C-alpha cells in the first residue's frame, strides 16, 4: 500500500517517455517536401537568384527544421552577401543537428576567417582533422588554405566632399 503511489508514478513516467520516443522521426527521415525546397534553393543559388534561394531554403526549414542542407544553404548566401556573423549562426544550427558535418565545419571555419576570428577557425580545423583522420577530406585542405590566407583586408575609403551648388 505504501509503494502504490511510487509505482504508479514510475509507470506513468515510463509510459510518457516511451510514447514521446515512439512519436519522433529518425534523423534520416527528412520531409521530402523540405528536400525538394532545398533542391529549388540550390538551383536558384546556382542561377544567381539569391533572394529566391534564400526563400526556398527558409521554406525548407519551415517544413522540416532538421534539414541541415537548408541551414548550410542560408549560410552560403549570407557569406556571399558579406554577412559572416549570420553565416556562422546558420552553420552552428547545422552543426547542432550533426556535429560531424564536414561541410558545415569547413564553411563555418571560412566564415570565421572572413570575420577575423582565425583562432576559432583553427578549432574547426582541428575538429575536421579529427573527423577526417581515417579518410581524405578536401575540406581540410580548403580550410587550411583559408586560414593561411587570413581575413580579408578592409580598407577605408574617403569620398571627396560633395560641393554644394546653390541655384
Entry pTM: 0.72
Instruction: Catalogue all structural domains in the chain, each as residue range(s) with its CATH number.
Output: 29-149 (1.25.40.10)
CB 96 within 8 A of CB 86: no
pLDDT tens per residue, range 69-117? 999 999 999 999 989 899 999 999 999 999 888 999 999 999 999 888 8
Cα 162 from Cα 167, distance rounded (Å): 15
* Residue, of 155 and 141, whose pLDDT is higher: 141
* Residue, of 38 and 164, whose pLDDT is higher: 38
pLDDT at res. 19? 44
The C-alpha cell of 112 is what? 570565421
pLDDT at res. 25? 47
pLDDT tens per residue, range 14-31? 656 544 444 444 556 888
pLDDT at res. 157? 66
Burial of 52 (0-12, 13-18, 19+ CB in 10 A): middle
Mean pLDDT confidence for 138-143 = 88
pLDDT at res. 132? 84
Amino acid at each position: 500500500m505504501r509503494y502504490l503511489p511510487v509505482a504508479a508514478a514510475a509507470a506513468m513516467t515510463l509510459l510518457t517517455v516511451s510514447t514521446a520516443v515512439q512519436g519522433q522521426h529518425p534523423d534520416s527521415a527528412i520531409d521530402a517536401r523540405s528536400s525538394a525546397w532545398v533542391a529549388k534553393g540550390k538551383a536558384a543559388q546556382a542561377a544567381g537568384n539569391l533572394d529566391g534561394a534564400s526563400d526556398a531554403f527558409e521554406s525548407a526549414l519551415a517544413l522540416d527544421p532538421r534539414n541541415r542542407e537548408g541551414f548550410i544553404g542560408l549560410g552560403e548566401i549570407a557569406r556571399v552577401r558579406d554577412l559572416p556573423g549570420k553565416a556562422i549562426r546558420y552553420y552552428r544550427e547545422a552543426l547542432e543537428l550533426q556535429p560531424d558535418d564536414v561541410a558545415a565545419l569547413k564553411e563555418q571555419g571560412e566564415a570565421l576567417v572572413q570575420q577575423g576570428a582565425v583562432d576559432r577557425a583553427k578549432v574547426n580545423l582541428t575538429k575536421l582533422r579529427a573527423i577526417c583522420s581515417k579518410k581524405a577530406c578536401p575540406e581540410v585542405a580548403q580550410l587550411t588554405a583559408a586560414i593561411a590566407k587570413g581575413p580579408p583586408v578592409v580598407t577605408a575609403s574617403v569620398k571627396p566632399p560633395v560641393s554644394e551648388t546653390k541655384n
